[in-house]
């Protein structure tokens, strides 16, 4: 009678197999992450496209692009129309044009006390179109600032990852009555299409905003302490001014990729390998962070008459 032995894996062979699997996983993960980021960037571009179309529909309906409201102590009020009396910023003003009519009209027909409470609820309502998927964290953020004028003190706010083009002139930006800016979306002024003398295809409309990753889900940063529903503030508009006359502050508002430890509230930018901007003709373009400060500044100015050479 013969016996047949059954040979199993030795410990060394098992460790080799585990090592090979670990190497394969290590090779695969970057590819998966790259594909995921590519998909997120496409979704982000689509967000900008839909918002840009909303701005253009607003312009074709009321003959001007959305204004940016009063200032950070106010949020949008559906009873105040879409002119200089509207305290809400551009996000609020385009809600009816991006299939968010119900959100826009939450306070319609209500008493002042009721509008203060519904406004508080609106301020904390997340709109997926306003969120870049690469940043995640779409949940409402705990409010640090609560001293609002036209709503009850909020416990949370919903952020937006996108900002309007305030322009290349930073003088007077702190005033919500400002009318001397060179961009398209700023303060209480609503820019008309014919006022964009440099051409709609040569002028920024809205774009991704720079944000320190430490503050994606935290509301104590000066560039991320208000929600999308608020008025004129660095949370919803950014600058292209690069202050070329002062070498110590040159490129202060240059576009920047999100980076921990950097706290700048004025710049465009984003989490992707390029930053994405919607232009006044409705197109969306991926822009290089290495764009010259002069060209970035010119894209931000609707009426400087300067030639953009890329």
In a domain, 66, yes or no: yes
| Cα–Cα distance, 46 to 61 (Å, whole number) | 22
Helices (H) then strands (E): counts for the chain: 5, 11
- Residue 230 carries which DSSP code? B
In a domain, 14, yes or no: no
In a domain, 35, yes or no: no
Total domain count for the chain?
A: 1
Whole-prediction pTM: 0.86
- The tokens 């609020």 sit on which residue? 92
* 3-state secondary structure at position 156: strand
pLDDT in tens, 163-190: 999 988 766 555 555 667 889 998 777 8
| Domain extent at residue 94 | 40-300
pLDDT in tens, 41-96: 999 999 999 999 999 999 999 999 999 998 889 999 999 998 889 999 999 999 99
Going by their DSSP bridges, the two strands 189-190 and 141-142 should be labelled as unpaired
Q: Which two tokens stand for residue 249?
A: 């502050």
In a domain, 161, yes or no: yes
């Amino acid at each position: 009678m013969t016996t047949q032995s059954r040979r199993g894996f030795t410990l060394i062979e098992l460790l080799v197999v585990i090592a090979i699997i670990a190497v394969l996983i290590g090779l695969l993960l970057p590819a998966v992450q790259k594909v995921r980021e590519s998909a997120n960037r496409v979704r982000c571009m689509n967000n900008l496209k839909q918002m840009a179309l909303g701005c253009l529909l607003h312009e074709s309906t009321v003959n001007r692009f959305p204004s940016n409201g009063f200032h950070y102590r106010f949020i949008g009020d559906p009873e105040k129309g879409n002119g200089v009396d509207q305290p809400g910023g551009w996000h609020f003003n385009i809600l009816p044009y991006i299939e968010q009519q119900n959100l826009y009209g939450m306070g319609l027909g209500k008493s002042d006390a009721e509008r203060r409470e519904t406004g508080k609820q609106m301020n904390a309502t997340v709109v997926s179109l306003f969120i870049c998927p690469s940043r995640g964290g779409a949940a409402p953020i705990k409010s640090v600032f609560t001293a609002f004028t036209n709503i009850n003190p909020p416990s949370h706010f919903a952020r937006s990852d996108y900002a309007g083009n305030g322009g290349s002139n930073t003088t007077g930006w702190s005033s919500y009555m400002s009318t001397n800016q060179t961009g398209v979306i700023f303060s209480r002024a609503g820019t008309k299409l014919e006022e964009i003398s440099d051409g709609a295809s040569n002028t920024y409309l809205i774009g991704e905003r720079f944000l320190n990753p430490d503050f994606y889900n935290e509301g104590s940063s000066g560039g991320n302490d208000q929600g999308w529903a608020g008025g004129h503030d660095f949370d919803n508009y950014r600058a292209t001014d690069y202050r070329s006359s002062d070498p110590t502050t040159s490129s202060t508002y240059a576009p920047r990729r999100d980076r921990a430890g950097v706290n700048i509230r004025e710049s465009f930018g984003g989490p992707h390998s390029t930053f994405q901007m919607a232009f006044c003709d409705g197109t969306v373009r991926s822009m290089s962070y290495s764009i010259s400060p002069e060209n970035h500044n010119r894209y931000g100015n609707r009426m400087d008459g300067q030639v953009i050479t890329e």
